[in-house]
């Protein structure tokens, strides 16, 4: 199956609006630290460090950014405070590029890897099921057949929510009784999808952080079952994080990356928070591509993460 442009009709205005709170918060802080100053000196850099940390960029990533700006100041001998905004934009964009967070608007499936299997992980309440529904909607709009698997069998609400999304989007949802083996649900879902020639399978998993060993064993079992039905599956392990939780999202990322091989990130709820800097920090610290960002409750309010557009919206321009 050839390439198609994924989420291509999403307007940048939605991104600007979704990041408005983060942008306003960051710019008000930046304005205060350069007020009355003509050059970027040590005091400005100290204040900038505080701005980035309080914007949930994270300490380690903040120190990297400050170091980059210090080196530019040493090289250029003088940096005007009016230039600080554009310099920040350039350095953060470069950091995201180095961390393999690149602009990729295309999605392709070879005939050999059909169905393309996505295993979705993340704690309860981060918008995991909603993200699955929105992804299914976009895949279907682009002409792909989709199956959903309700493998979070420990919460009736999770199963019912996924069924609601399946009905809304018009895609089948495979489910079993409450408390059933999640790996069994994954097996049934992928087997049904394969038998019916489906293009994409998205499997929800339990959002519990009961302990690392239990989580690792559970996710490993699900992955092994997937691989038996479709060699190479899951093709993607998508970790969903709630951007509005700031530093707590870092801890969740740490737990799940220790438990399984996370290959992509979706960061949700960025429209309702001033903590959008968490996207920069998580990308830098975990070296995992941010693939999607959630910017609202609407069915089309999930966008492919585009590095340049994100930075432009965050810093204006």
Q: What is the pTM of this model?
A: 0.89
Three-class HEC string of 273-300: CCCCCHHHHHHHHHCCCEEEEECCCCCC
Burial of 28 (0-12, 13-18, 19+ CB in 10 A): exposed
Q: Residue 169: how many CA atoms within 13 Å on its side-chain side?
A: 32
The whole-number average pLDDT for the span 206-212 is 69
Residue 5 predicted with pLDDT over 70: no
Which whole number is the average pLDDT over 157-180? 94
The pair of structure tokens assigned to 182 is 């999640």
Residue-wise pLDDT tens digits, 95-149: 888 765 445 555 566 666 789 999 999 988 899 999 999 999 989 988 999 999 9
* Domains in the chain: boundaries: 12-317
How many Å apart are CA 152 and CA 183, to the nearest integer? 10
Indicate whether 82 pLDDT > 80: no
Question: Which has the higher per-residue pLDDT, 306 or 104?
Answer: 306
**What pLDDT is attached to residue 154?**
85
- Higher-pLDDT residue of 289 and 102 is 289
Residue 160 is encoded by which pair of tokens?
Answer: 């019912």
Q: How confident is the model at residue 255 (pLDDT cuts 50, 70, 90)?
A: confident
Q: Taking the C-alpha atoms of 104, 107, 112 and 115 in order, what is their torsion angle to the nearest 10 degrees?
A: 130
pLDDT of residue 262: 94
- pLDDT of res. 9: 46
- Neighbouring C-beta atoms of residue 88, cutoff 10 Å: 21
- Which pLDDT belongs to residue 241? 95
**H or E stretch at 138:** helix 128-141
Say yes or no to pLDDT of 210 above 80.
no
For residue 262, the number of C-alpha atoms closer than 13 Å in the C-beta half-sphere is: 27
Domain 12-317 falls in which CATH fold? Answer: Rossmann fold (3.40.50)
Quick check: 254 pLDDT over 50? yes
End-to-end CA distance of the chain: 36
- For residue 20, the model assigns a pLDDT of 86
Q: Residue 13 has what pLDDT? A: 78
The percentage of residues in the chain with a pLDDT greater than 90, rounded to a whole number, is: 40
Residue 230 CB partners (closer than 8 Å, separation 6+):
113, 115, 117, 190, 194
Q: Please, how many CA atoms are within 13 Å of residue 293, restricted to the half-sphere of its CB?
A: 31
* Among 32-36, 167-171, 208-212, the least confident range: 208-212
15, pLDDT greater than 60: yes
More confident residue, 38 or 126: 126
Kindly report which listed range (13-17, 33-37, 209-213) carries the lowest average pLDDT score. 209-213
Please give the pLDDT value at position 295.
87
């Amino acid at each position: 199956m050839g390439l198609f442009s994924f989420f291509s009709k999403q307007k940048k205005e939605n991104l600007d609006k979704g990041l408005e709170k983060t942008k306003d918060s960051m710019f008000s802080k930046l304005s205060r630290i350069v007020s009355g100053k003509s050059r970027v000196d040590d005091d400005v850099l100290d204040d900038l460090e505080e701005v980035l940390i309080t914007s949930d960029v994270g300490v380690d990533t903040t120190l990297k950014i400050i170091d980059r700006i210090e080196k530019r100041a040493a090289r250029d001998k003088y940096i005007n405070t009016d230039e600080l905004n554009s310099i920040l934009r350039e350095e953060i964009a470069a950091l995201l590029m180095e961390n393999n967070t690149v602009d990729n608007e295309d999605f392709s499936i070879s005939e050999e890897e059909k169905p393309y299997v996505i295993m979705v992980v993340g704690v309860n309440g981060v918008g995991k099921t909603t993200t699955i529904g929105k992804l299914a909607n976009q895949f279907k709009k682009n002409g792909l057949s989709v199956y959903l698997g309700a493998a979070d069998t420990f919460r009736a609400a999770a199963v019912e929510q996924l069924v609601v999304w399946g009905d809304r989007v018009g895609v089948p949802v495979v489910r079993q009784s409450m408390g059933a083996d999640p790996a069994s649900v994954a097996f049934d879902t992928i087997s049904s999808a394969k038998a019916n020639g489906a293009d994409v399978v998205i499997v929800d998993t339990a959002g519990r952080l009961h302990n690392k060993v239990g989580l690792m064993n559970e996710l490993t079992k699900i992955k092994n079952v997937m691989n038996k039905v479709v060699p190479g599956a899951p093709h993607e392990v998508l970790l969903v994080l709630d951007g509005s939780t700031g530093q707590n999202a870092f801890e969740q990322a740490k737990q799940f990356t220790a438990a399984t091989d996370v290959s992509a990130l979706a960061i949700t709820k960025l429209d309702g928070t001033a903590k959008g800097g968490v996207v920069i920090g998580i990308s830098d610290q975990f070296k995992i591509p941010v693939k999607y960002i959630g910017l609202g409750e609407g069915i089309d309010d999930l966008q492919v993460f585009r590095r340049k557009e994100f930075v432009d919206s965050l810093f204006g321009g």
